[in-house]
A and B are shown apart, each in its own frame.
Chain A
Amino acid sequence: MSAASTVRGRVVKVTGGGLFRWLAFGVFWGYLVVRWLYQWVGADLLGMDPRAPLLPVETFRTLATTWDGTRIGGLFSFLRVAGDALPAAVTGTWLTIILTVVAMAAGLVIAVPLAVTRVYGGPVTRWAALGYTELIRGTPLLAQLFVLYYGLSLSATLRELPFVGEGFIPAQAALVAMIGFIINSSAYQAEYIRSALQSVEVGQLTAGRAVGLSKLQTIRRIVLPQGLRYGIPGWSNELVYLIKYSSLAAFITVPELYKRTRDIASGNFRYFELLVVAGVIYLGLVLSASALMGRVEQRVAIPGLGE
């Protein structure tokens, strides 16, 4: 079957570079998950400090002193600083992931009707949708976060809500950031989806209408299933951007990955080490995200569509 072989051919391509890659992903996510579990429940059960590093930081320190002034000593000194910083960085990573995932998901929910309106709406609704996307895409994300955080009293309003900042619900600054990212991402995703919808052949719509489907049914049953598939590469891009742009939340005091590492660095002045820690984690997230999106793309692939 030609279908199976095309799909399988692509599996090979995506998993190419194989073992090392999966090993790296395994270590990366393994460490993150163990760390989270330890902080949330493990430390409590074991009666330990949830902020205690799981890596042998003290050993690193001793080795660093032993080989002080040599390259090996430098390496262990780096490992010690990194090991010390990791608990906080990993906590921040959780927030980074939450911000990104929620912004992507909620952004998509807003982006789909927005894109459909841009392509198939009436003159007024189309203009409104265009206005929204252009306004959001035309202004800096950081400015949008500032407007939400300082300009509107959003943060004060959120603080009044009973559940904010408790348990798994992020504190108000993070919620403001989340709202900002949702708004911002919805505009960018709408733009990706709009162009994907427009690349659906006109004949597909004509055929839908000719069968007797209403305009809305045609959009829902024919244009969206095809357009959203065409949109996946753009969507993966947006996910990668969002992972990195989520660091802007640091500027409105959200303790995500970048803020955590930056704060530690301003305490111990080990800027290089902490940038490496943040950089490696961002890289791990970005590479995981593209691998995941590659998977999704294969999963929903249909022979002959968008190849």
Chain B
Amino acid sequence: MAVPLSQMWTVATYVLKQRLRGLKRYPLVLMLEPLFRCNLTCAGCGKIQYPAQILKKHLTLEQCLKAVDECGAPVVSIPGGEPLMYPSIGELVDALVQRRKYVYLCTNAILLKEKLEQGVFSPSKYLSFSIHMDGLREEHDEAVCRDGVYDKAVEGIKAALTRGFRVTTNTTLFDGANPLRMREFFDEMMKLGVEGMMLSPGYSYSKAPDQEHFLRRSKTHELFSRMLSNPREHWKFNQSPLFLQFLMGQRDYECTPWGNPTFNMFGWQRPCYLLQEGYAESFRDLMENTRWEQYGRKSGNEKCQDCMVHCGYEATAVDDTFSNWKGFKDTVVATLTGKL
């Protein structure tokens, strides 16, 4: 079991409360992007392709906390850009921990060891470093377009684990990923001692420039089935087992774009973490005035047809766990047995 019980309990009670209130749409994980600046330039990364004046800017601490309070989600994920380059990252994490938010700080870990040595963070059950790792050394360095990053990230992971921090990994998979190498990668990460791993296919959008490297639905099913069938006992995943079953083609879900609302210097992003169709000024405006019916597979929107990413579908899987006994039972069985 990779997600600690206290975190599961917090999420479970939050979801049940929203359902009891009869809320049809509620956020689960706030994607808070304090800046777009990064110390890597991974090819095709949509987060860093901005003119210089935008890359130099960042949200103020107050703007970040206002968004957190407005949204109310129990989990806050801090992607970027590279959040360790955000000048107020220590204060932001402290304030979130004080609010008892479960924080996933998503980092490429290049600066992690240095920040830990400077004492910017303190270990807490609420804080987890989510390290960007797209495979073993060769695959990872290729994915991030720079040699030596894998070793640096491993160094960061070790430094964080030694100091008692929670550490998870997040991995995005593209076409051409080798299931056997990925299985070796899972072994390697567990050997390092990470708490759990998170997986997601890359976003597949029919008009994306790098189409041939994005996974189509059937290919996603094939890759994830080959990678995750007969999972080794020691593998731990820090995400819903129902979501992993969805990636393996064992379940059919619709996207829940409001489950992971995104806030950055432009405002509340419509409709999801991936698509930028406009920005709302307030969280309420986002929830009430986004034309949700235009998104997700059923809508026929071509941008959504092959998308199976975690920020669209993990919230669906979590909702499935708490909306019917079968979903709950399947989650419990998969969590306890480790079988997918």
Tell me if chain B binds chain A: no
